């Protein structure tokens, strides 16, 4: 397994280099002069523009500017935003928040999603099954920003059960995490249900029941474990989606996460900020998918990584 | 116990999940409403520059600096009239050499006294070319400004050491501890009016010792001292016990909570988790929702922002050369209806280029009939011209809420004059301004002006004087230039009269069409009272009280 992990880590290097270049080039290609709007409806002092242009290599051709940027990055210097703040500090402050939010959302989607899926699957056609089907259908059909605003006004402003916006505590991330995880929760519930129903009809389950195993053991160990493989794939791939989707939720609940940073960076044409933030996103995504692939082997003994 | 590969993966996953959950959870000390009862929370935003007055030209950082600093003069929050603050006296015989004496007893928050050199050194630093500050143009009128600019190497973009002819401006002279003189390169009667702007703040020695540290933790002279800044979270201010101003704040401190999203802040306001929001979001203004949400806890306040439409310079687009054509377009715009239906009262129709509700001396009728909706007069005037080859584009930056009114204005022009007018969004403000500054934008386009200080001069000279920095339409009128130059030397009532004369000249040429002036609608929670908003759209923290 060790060799497999090293091989996968090695594959990440070209991916990361490719991503950084792509992102840097895209921000570079944004039309307009980043300092044209900095001083309201009049041009900024020429001295200021000169200084910033030199500081951020904005006059260099793209490959040279990119190489300079990567040179600094390799030595651990993430550079500064146009406002003079250290990008590394900002990443350190914002990433934990976004990761916390995403981890909470995954927790919500996995725990509630699997529970709902199992409940629906074992009593197929029953009341619970129909309830889960209808409620997930509703959740899937509403975009996240609508759910977010509704939940905020309902549970934050009107009922006062949750803080309206983030105040830095973990508790204030609960409502945003539920909103963020709700869409995937619906998918997870349906995936689990469908797989469970399928697997309950298989021969080995019949054998297990015939052997006299308890219903709990048949469902909990023999059926559920096999039904979880597609769910793990989904959750792994979804992790990236959640990190991206967090941009919207972060905006609604005023959570100082990476989404806001990227959004602001793009608006300000700050190549360094956007590249750094997105690259870390890519890294996190790649690592999570590696973990997912390793988890397959755990869930299904037939899969081996050599 | 040997750990199997399968088990190690499970353990690793759990450990990773725990680590994700645990990191960053360290500082939970800031609870939403748990501040002292006599502290208010204000909607803040991320400052775009370090907290250095000479480098702060936007509202997020400016809001906070204006609470932390006192200036030579202050502007009355209601009328905009100036009054001496740190200055005991500002006087000049010829509007060119100004003698400024300071009141005794002002101190910085670190205890050091405010002296004449606190101002002179700060202004010299701001003007010096090698510091390349954003606000350096405010010091341009001072004699010797050109000498301290120096040069940047066009190749490397680096500042050339020693290229400046002088390190300090010759126009600034310290007379004694509490007196200094300012010599301008030409007379300007309204010079003293601008001294309350952020860029003119005094700076303590601590700034020059370490400008970078200062930018993270500014030390001022104002009613509130800077306590802490947690980027993206909040800025905390506490009342300065030795504040030397006439009015002492009644609150113990203020917290500027940083929001990146207006609607999030507004929802907090409704839930009483935020006390003061100086500018309500468009979504709350639509249909006057805010009056239902907040009851009478809101304030309407005219501010120093005006919005105009500017005609592209003749060199770019020569279709608008005839002033009658421009006047006809102006008269075709039904300002009142647009203000009522689209802005829900957050604007007032403009009949002048300066803002009479905010600027002392300004009058509402300088544009007069030409800025009043009159279908028949517009058509009659248009019939006298050679007409225009359509379609014309009305350009605006598409990243802001402009589409509604631009479409309405275009419909007006098309319906009344029969010229095809096309709303043309440009992707974002940076691109939009870039096109205008490089004189690549034809047709007509949205322009706006946020005053630096409440004076007629600030609404005329930077916008319409020949070659001025924000003269986007390349307006040139010798009589106008002469009038504002003369007004600058006159001062007092005659000066104002001359400025108004200059403003009336704009009606004849119509280089830009006044549309409306912005009205600030602010909201506050049940926790505070006596909230006042200044002409700069900031909160007057000196008057705010808490309801306990």
Q: What is the pLDDT of residues B451-495, one digit of tens each?
A: 888 889 889 998 999 988 888 889 999 999 999 988 888 877 888
Report angle CA B330, B331, B334 to the nearest 5 degrees: 95
Query: B223 near B67, Cβ under 8 Å?
Result: yes
Please write the tens of the pLDDT for every residue from A113-158.
988 988 888 888 888 888 888 988 888 888 888 888 888 888 888 8
User: Considering only CB atoms, which chain B residues are within 8 Å of A291?
Assistant: 9, 12-13, 16
A60's CB contacts (< 8 A; 6+ apart) are: A68
CA closest to B54 among chain A residues: A48
List the single best residue of A3, A148, A167, A225 to mutate versus B (max B Cβ within 10 A): A167
Please write the tens of the pLDDT for every residue from A57-108.
777 788 888 888 888 877 877 777 777 777 888 888 888 888 888 889 999 9
Number of domain units in chain B: 3
User: Considering only CB atoms, which chain A residues are within 8 Å of B259?
Assistant: 165, 254
Whether ipTM exceeds 0.85: no
CA quadruple B332, B333, B336, B337: dihedral sign: positive
B66's CB contacts (< 8 A; 6+ apart) are: B198, B222, B536, B538
Residues B406 and B507 in one domain: yes
Instruction: Give B181's strand partners.
Output: B99, B173
Query: B436 near B445, Cβ under 8 Å?
Result: yes
Distance CA B128, CA A200 (A): 79
Whether the bond between B257 and the residue before it is cis, its omega within 30 degrees of 0, is no
Q: Considering only residues 210 to 249 of chain A, which have any Cβ-Cβ distance to chain B shorter than 8 Å?
A: none
What the block records as the tokens of B339 is 């203000």
Banded pLDDT at B4 (limits 50, 70, 90): low
Query: B227 near B35, Cβ under 8 Å?
Result: no
- Asked if B433 lies within 8 A of A83 by C-beta distance, the reply is no
Average pLDDT over residues B377-391: 88
Query: B531 near B539, Cβ under 8 Å?
Result: yes
User: Considering only CB atoms, which chain A residues are within 8 Å of B437?
Assistant: 36, 43
Of A81-90, A185-194, B105-114, B342-351, the poorest mean pLDDT is in A81-90
Average pLDDT, chain A: 83
Average pLDDT over residues B295-299: 91
What percent of chain B stands above pLDDT 90? 47
Banded pLDDT at B220 (limits 50, 70, 90): very high
Residues B427 and B524 in one domain: no
Residues B445 and B506 in one domain: yes
Banded pLDDT at A306 (limits 50, 70, 90): low
With an 8 Å Cβ cutoff, is A44 touching chain B?
yes
Please write the tens of the pLDDT for every residue from B32-66.
444 568 899 999 988 888 899 998 888 888 889 99
Average pLDDT over residues A6-29: 85
With an 8 Å Cβ cutoff, is A42 touching chain B?
yes
What is the SS3 assignment for chain A?
A: CHHHHHHHHHHHHHHHHHHHHHHHHHHHHCCCCCCCCCCCCCCCCHHHHHHHHHHCCCCCCHHHHHHHHHHHHHCCCCCECCCCCEHHHHHHHHHHHHHHHHHHHHHHHHHHHHHHHHHHHHCCCCHHHHHHHHHHHHHHHCCHHHHHHHHHHHHHHHCCCCCCCCCCCCHHHHHHHHHHHHHHHHHHHHHHHHHHHHHHCCHHHHHHHHCCCCHHHHHHHHHHHHHHHHHHHHHHHHHHHHHHHHHHHHHHHCCCCHHHHHHHHHHCCCHHHHHHHHHHHHHHHHHHHHHHHHHHHHHCCCCCCC
Q: What confidence score (pLDDT) does residue B23 get?
A: 45
User: Considering only CB atoms, which chain B residues are within 8 Å of A99?
Assistant: 20, 23-24
With an 8 Å Cβ cutoff, is B447 touching chain A?
yes
A125: phi > 0 → left, psi -120 to 50 → alpha, else beta; which? Answer: left
Please write the tens of the pLDDT for every residue from B457-469.
889 998 999 988 8
CATH number for the domain that contains residue B295:
3.40.190.10
User: Considering only CB atoms, which chain B residues are within 8 Å of A102?
Assistant: 20
Residue A83 C-alpha, separation from nearest chain B C-alpha, in angstroms:
4
Q: In which residue are the tokens 């060119």 written?
A: B96
Q: How many CB pairs under 8 A join A and B?
A: 188
Q: Is residue B53 part of a domain?
A: yes
Q: Is the pLDDT of residue B25 over 50?
A: no
Q: What is the pTM of this model?
A: 0.81
User: Considering only CB atoms, which chain A residues are within 8 Å of B25?
Assistant: 96, 100, 170
Q: Is residue B6 part of a domain?
A: no
| Beta strand pairing call for B224-230 and B234-239 | antiparallel
DSSP codes, B461-476 = HHHHSTT-TT-TT---
**Type and span of the H or E element at B155:** none
Residues B149 and B293 in one domain: no
Q: In which residue are the tokens 């001496």 written?
A: B84
Q: Give every strand in the sheet of B87-92, ordered side by side.
A: B87-92, B97-102, B179-183, B172-176
Report angle CA B170, B172, B175 to the nearest 5 degrees: 120
Q: What confidence score (pLDDT) does residue B29 get?
A: 38
Q: Is residue B8 part of a domain?
A: no
Residue A151 C-alpha, separation from nearest chain B C-alpha, in angstroms:
12
Q: CB-side exposure of A186: number of CA atoms within 13 Å?
A: 17
Q: Is residue B49 part of a domain?
A: yes
Q: What confidence score (pLDDT) does residue B354 get?
A: 93
Residue A251 C-alpha, separation from nearest chain B C-alpha, in angstroms:
6
Average pLDDT over residues B505-532: 92
Residues B508 and B525 in one domain: no
Q: Is residue B271 part of a domain?
A: yes
Average pLDDT over residues A38-64: 76
User: Considering only CB atoms, which chain B residues are within 8 Å of A153?
Assistant: 267
Q: How many residues does chain B have?
A: 548
Q: List the domains of chain A with CATH numbers.
A: 1-75 (no CATH), 94-268 (1.10.3720.10)
Query: Between the CA of residue B212 and those of A89, B55, B215, B397, what are the distances in Å?
Result: 16, 12, 5, 34
Banded pLDDT at B422 (limits 50, 70, 90): very high
A71's CB contacts (< 8 A; 6+ apart) are: none
Q: What confidence score (pLDDT) does residue B26 get?
A: 38
List the single best residue of B8, B12, B15, B24 to mutate versus A (max A Cβ within 10 A): B24
Banded pLDDT at B430 (limits 50, 70, 90): confident
Average pLDDT over residues A184-205: 87
Which of A33, A100, A251 is the closest to B20 by Cβ? A100
Of B206, B229, B256, the one marking the end of a domain is B206
Please indicate whether residue A302 or residue A256 has the higher confidence score (pLDDT).
A256
Residues B200 and B221 in one domain: no
- Asked if B233 lies within 8 A of A168 by C-beta distance, the reply is yes
Q: Is residue B2 part of a domain?
A: no
Average pLDDT over residues B337-346: 88
CA quadruple B11, B17, B22, B28: dihedral sign: negative
Q: What confidence score (pLDDT) does residue A259 get?
A: 83
Helices A127-141 and A87-122 sit at what angle, rounded to 10 degrees? 150
- Asked if A156 lies within 8 A of B271 by C-beta distance, the reply is yes
List the single best residue of B433, B449, B470 to mutate versus A (max A Cβ within 10 A): B433
- Asked if A31 lies within 8 A of B271 by C-beta distance, the reply is no
With an 8 Å Cβ cutoff, is B283 touching chain A?
no
Q: Is residue B7 part of a domain?
A: no
Residues B410 and B359 in one domain: yes
Residue B197 C-alpha, separation from nearest chain A C-alpha, in angstroms:
15
Which of B27, B50, B232 is the closest to A84 by Cβ? B50
- Asked if A45 lies within 8 A of B134 by C-beta distance, the reply is yes
Of B164, B179, B206, the one marking the end of a domain is B206
Average pLDDT, chain B: 86
- Asked if B133 lies within 8 A of A45 by C-beta distance, the reply is yes
Please indicate whether residue A270 or residue B266 has the higher confidence score (pLDDT).
B266
Residues B132 and B270 in one domain: no
Q: Is residue B4 part of a domain?
A: no
Q: Is the pLDDT of residue B13 over 60?
A: no
With an 8 Å Cβ cutoff, is A63 touching chain B?
no
With an 8 Å Cβ cutoff, is A256 touching chain B?
yes
Q: Is the pLDDT of residue A53 over 50?
A: yes
CATH number for the domain that contains residue B511:
3.10.105.10
Query: A166 near A254, Cβ under 8 Å?
Result: yes
CATH number for the domain that contains residue B148:
3.90.76.10
User: Considering only CB atoms, which chain A residues are within 8 Å of B432?
Assistant: 32, 36-37
- Asked if B271 lies within 8 A of A83 by C-beta distance, the reply is no
Q: Is the pLDDT of residue B356 over 70?
A: yes
With an 8 Å Cβ cutoff, is A111 touching chain B?
no
Which of B132, B429, B462 is the closest to A50 by Cβ? B132
| Beta strand pairing call for B298-311 and B444-450 | antiparallel
With an 8 Å Cβ cutoff, is A149 touching chain B?
yes
Please write the tens of the pLDDT for every residue from B131-185.
888 888 889 889 999 888 877 766 666 677 777 788 899 999 999 999 999 999 9
Residues B46 and B189 in one domain: no
Q: Considering only residues 239 to 258 of chain B, which have any Cβ-Cβ distance to chain A shorter than 8 Å?
A: 258
Q: What confidence score (pLDDT) does residue B34 get?
A: 45
Long-range contacts of B26-30 (CB under 8 A, 24+ apart): B27/A168, B28/A168, B28/A169, B28/A170, B30/A167, B30/A168, B30/B230, B30/B233, B30/B234
Residues B336 and B350 in one domain: yes
Which of A54, A84, A167 is the closest to B158 by Cβ? A54
- Asked if A36 lies within 8 A of B433 by C-beta distance, the reply is yes
What the block records as the tokens of B261 is 């999203």
Q: Is the pLDDT of residue B16 over 70?
A: no
Banded pLDDT at A32 (limits 50, 70, 90): low
Please write the tens of the pLDDT for every residue from B313-330.
988 888 888 889 999 999
CA closest to A157 among chain B residues: B271
Of B162, B183, B206, the one marking the end of a domain is B206
- Asked if B132 lies within 8 A of A267 by C-beta distance, the reply is no
Please indicate whether residue B14 or residue B404 has the higher confidence score (pLDDT).
B404
Average pLDDT over residues A260-283: 82
Residue B65 C-alpha, separation from nearest chain A C-alpha, in angstroms:
16
Residues B231 and B155 in one domain: no
Q: Is the pLDDT of residue B522 over 90?
A: yes
Instruction: Give B173's strand partners.
Output: B181
Report angle CA B11, B17, B22 to the nearest 5 degrees: 120
Residues B235 and B147 in one domain: no
- Domain residues for the domain of B404 are 305-518
**Type and span of the H or E element at B444:** strand B444-450
Please indicate whether residue A50 or residue B527 has the higher confidence score (pLDDT).
B527
With an 8 Å Cβ cutoff, is A294 touching chain B?
yes
CA closest to A267 among chain B residues: B428
């Amino acid at each position: 397994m060790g060799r497999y992990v090293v091989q996968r880590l090695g594959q990440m290097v070209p991916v990361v280099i490719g991503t950084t270049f792509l992102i840097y080039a895209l921000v570079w290609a944004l039309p307009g002069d980043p300092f044209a709007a900095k001083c309201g409806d009049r041009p900024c002092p020429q001295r200021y523009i000169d200084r910033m242009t030199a500081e951020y290599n904005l006059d260099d051709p793209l490959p040279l500017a990119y190489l300079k940027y990567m040179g600094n990055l390799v030595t651990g210097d993430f550079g500064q935003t146009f406002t003079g703040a250290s990008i590394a500090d900002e990443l350190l402050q914002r990433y934990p928040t976004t990761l916390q939010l995403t981890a909470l959302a995954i927790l919500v989607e996995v725990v509630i999603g699997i529970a709902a899926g199992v409940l629906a699957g074992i009593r197929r056609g029953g009341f619970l099954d129909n309830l889960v089907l209808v409620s997930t259908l509703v959740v899937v059909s509403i975009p996240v920003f609508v759910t977010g605003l509704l939940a905020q006004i309902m549970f934050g402003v009107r009922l006062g059960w949750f803080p309206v916006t983030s105040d830095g505590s973990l508790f204030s991330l609960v409502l945003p995490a539920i909103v963020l995880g709700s869409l995937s929760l619906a998918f997870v519930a349906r995936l689990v249900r469908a797989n469970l129903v399928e697997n309950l009809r298989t021969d080995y389950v019949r054998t297990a029941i015939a052997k006299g195993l308890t219903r709990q053991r048949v469902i909990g160990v023999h059926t559920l474990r096999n039904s979880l493989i597609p769910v793990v794939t989904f959750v792994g791939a979804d992790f990236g989606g959640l990190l991206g989707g967090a941009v919207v939720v972060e905006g609604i609940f005023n959570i100082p996460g990476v989404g806001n940073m990227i959004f602001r960076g793009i608006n300000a044409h700050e190549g360094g900020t956007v590249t750094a933030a997105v690259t870390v996103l890519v890294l996190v995504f790649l690592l999570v998918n590696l973990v997912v692939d390793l988890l397959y082997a755990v869930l299904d003994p037939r899969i081996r990584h050599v | 116990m040997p750990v199997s590969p399968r088990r190690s993966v499970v353990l690793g996953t759990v450990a990773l999940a725990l680590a994700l959950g645990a990191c960053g959870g360290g500082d939970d000390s800031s609870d939403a409403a748990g501040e002292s009862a006599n502290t208010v929370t204000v909607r803040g935003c991320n400052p775009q520059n370090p907290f250095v007055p000479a480098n702060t030209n936007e509202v997020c950082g400016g809001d906070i600096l204006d609470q932390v600093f006192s200036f030579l003069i202050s502007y009355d929050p209601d009328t905009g009239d100036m009054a001496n603050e740190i200055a005991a006296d500002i006087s000049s015989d010829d509007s060119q050499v100004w003698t400024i004496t300071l009141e005794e007893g002002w101190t910085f928050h670190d205890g050091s006294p405010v002296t004449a050199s606190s101002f002179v050194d700060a202004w010299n630093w701001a003007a010096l070319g090698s510091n390349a500050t954003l606000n350096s143009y405010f010091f341009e009128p001072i004699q010797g400004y050109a000498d301290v600019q120096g040069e940047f190497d066009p190749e490397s973009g680096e500042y050339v050491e020693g290229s400046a002819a002088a390190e300090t401006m010759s126009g600034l002279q310290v007379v004694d501890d509490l007196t200094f003189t300012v010599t301008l390169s030409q007379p300007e009667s309204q010079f003293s009016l601008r001294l309350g702007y952020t860029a003119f703040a005094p700076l303590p020695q601590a700034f020059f010792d370490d400008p970078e540290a200062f930018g993270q933790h500014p030390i001022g002279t104002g009613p509130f001292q800077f306590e802490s800044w947690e980027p993206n979270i909040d800025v905390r201010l506490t009342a300065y016990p030795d504040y030397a101003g006439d009015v002492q704040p009644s609150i113990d401190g203020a917290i500027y909570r940083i929001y990146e999203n207006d609607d999030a802040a507004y929802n907090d306001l409704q839930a009483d988790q935020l006390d003061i929001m100086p500018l309500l979001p468009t979504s709350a203004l639509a249909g006057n929702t805010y009056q239902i949400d907040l009851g009478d806890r809101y304030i309407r306040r005219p501010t120093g922002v005006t919005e105009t439409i500017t005609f592209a310079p003749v060199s770019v687009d020569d279709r608008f050369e005839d002033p009658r054509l421009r006047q006809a377009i102006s008269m075709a715009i039904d300002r009142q209806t647009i203000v009522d239906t689209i802005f829900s009262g957050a604007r007032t129709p403009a009949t002048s280029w300066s803002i009479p509700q905010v600027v002392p001396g300004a009058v509402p009728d300088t544009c007069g009939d030409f800025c009043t909706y009159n279908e028949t007069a517009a058509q009659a005037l248009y019939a006298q011209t050679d007409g225009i080859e359509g379609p014309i584009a009305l350009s605006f930056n598409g990243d802001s809420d402009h589409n509604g009114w631009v479409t309405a204005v275009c419909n007006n022009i098309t319906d009344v004059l029969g010229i095809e007018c096309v709303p043309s969004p440009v992707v974002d403000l940076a691109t939009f301004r870039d096109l205008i500054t490089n004189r690549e934008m034809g047709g007509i386009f949205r322009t706006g002006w946020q005053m630096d200080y409440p004076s007629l001069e600030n609404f005329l000279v930077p916008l319409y004087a020949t070659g001025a920095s924000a003269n986007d339409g390349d307006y040139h009128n010798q009589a106008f230039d002469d009038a504002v130059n003369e007004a600058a030397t006159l001062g007092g009532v005659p000066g104002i009269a001359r400025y108004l004369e200059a403003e009336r000249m704009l009606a004849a040429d119509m280089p830009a069409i006044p549309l409306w002036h912005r009205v600030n609608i602010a909201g506050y929670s049940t926790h505070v009272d006596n909230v006042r908003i200044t002409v700069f759209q900031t909160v007057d923290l000196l008057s705010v009280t808490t309801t306990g």
